[in-house]
Chains A and B, each alone.
Chain A
Amino acid sequence: EVQLVESGGGLLQPGGSLRLSCAASGFIFSSYSINWVRQAPGKGLEWISYISSSSSTIYYADSVKGRFTISRDNARNSLYLQMNSLRAEDTAVYYCARSGGLYVDYWGQGTLVTVSS
């Protein structure tokens, strides 16, 4: 069974930093590209970052470019999102989401990040 389990969310002040993690199991992690997708409270889904299976290809949405960094450790079956210079508008549930092709086929349960003073 494919499982993606996010962790690392929490409450922090504007300008702060946070590192999210996603632990994968039930599939060959090193063979799949992975994304981060977020959802602000009561709002829609927003794709924010993509990393290929070998980390050779990485892309970001304009809303997080220059502030967030995606990375992965295939030996640990883990995905990460380093978030710096956080803003109130970054408040959201952050989902780790596996690429099945040019689409997401599995989602984690999400981790909540709240940025507030």
Chain B
Amino acid sequence: QSALTQPRSVSGSPGQSVTVSCTGTSSDVGGYNSVSWYQQHPGKAPKLVIYDVSKRPSGVPDRFSGSKSDNTASLTISGLQAEDEADYYCCSYAGTYTWVFGGGTKLTVL
């Protein structure tokens, strides 16, 4: 499977909103409502922030939201805070118990 396509980097000022895109194909992102997003700070394990396209786990601020249209999923972070600066990875179920990740996006809070 080919990795999902994410922008290498995005940035925003505190209080602003940013959106990270994640483009796949009809065999993964477009074929299932099973896109998840992970936040990873340097040297740390990833942390789930969105699952099933738009659901937030308990404890994740409602500033984090997800959506999907056709073969592209998006993660939006509103009211940016300094602690949001991290790498973000999308992941999609690709059928038959296989998954594919995006290449990752580095979010810089200016």
Task: Give A contacts to B, CB under 8 Å.
Answer: 35, 37, 44-47, 50, 52, 57, 59, 61-62, 95, 100-110
Q: Give complex CA distance A47, B78 in Å.
A: 29
Given A107-B45, A107-B46, A47 and B3 contact (CB-CB distance below 8 Å): no
B101, CB-defined interface residue at 8 Å: yes
Shortest beta-carbon distance from A65 to chain B in Å: 11
Instruction: Let me know if B89 and A104 touch, CB within 8 A.
Output: no
The reply on B64 being an interface residue by CB < 8 A is no
Spot the interface stretch: B9-17, B69-77, B90-98.
B90-98
Which B residues touch A52, using CB under 8 A?
A: 97
Q: A95-B45, A107-B45, A107-B47 are in contact. Are A101 and B100 (CB under 8 A)?
A: no
Q: Which residues of A contact B96 (CB under 8 A)?
A: 59
Residue of B nearest to A63 (CB): B1
Q: Which of B55-98 contact A (CB under 8 A)?
A: 57, 89, 91, 93, 96-98
| B residues with CB within 8 A of A | 1, 3, 32, 34, 36, 38, 45-48, 51-52, 57, 89, 91, 93, 96-104
Q: B32 to A108, Cβ gap below 8 A? A: no
The distance in angstroms between the C-alpha atoms of A95 and B101, with both chains bound, is 14
A22 to chain B, nearest CB (A): 12
Please measure, in the bound complex, the distance between the C-alpha atom of A52 and the C-alpha atom of B57, giving whole angstroms. Answer: 22
In contact, A47 and B48 (Cβ under 8 angstroms): no
B100 near A103: Cβ-Cβ < 8 Å: no
- Docked complex Cα distance between A75 and B87 (Å): 36
The residues of B that contact A45 with a CB separation of less than 8 Å are 38, 46, 89, 91, 101, 104
The CA-CA distance from A35 to B36 in the complex, in Å, is 15
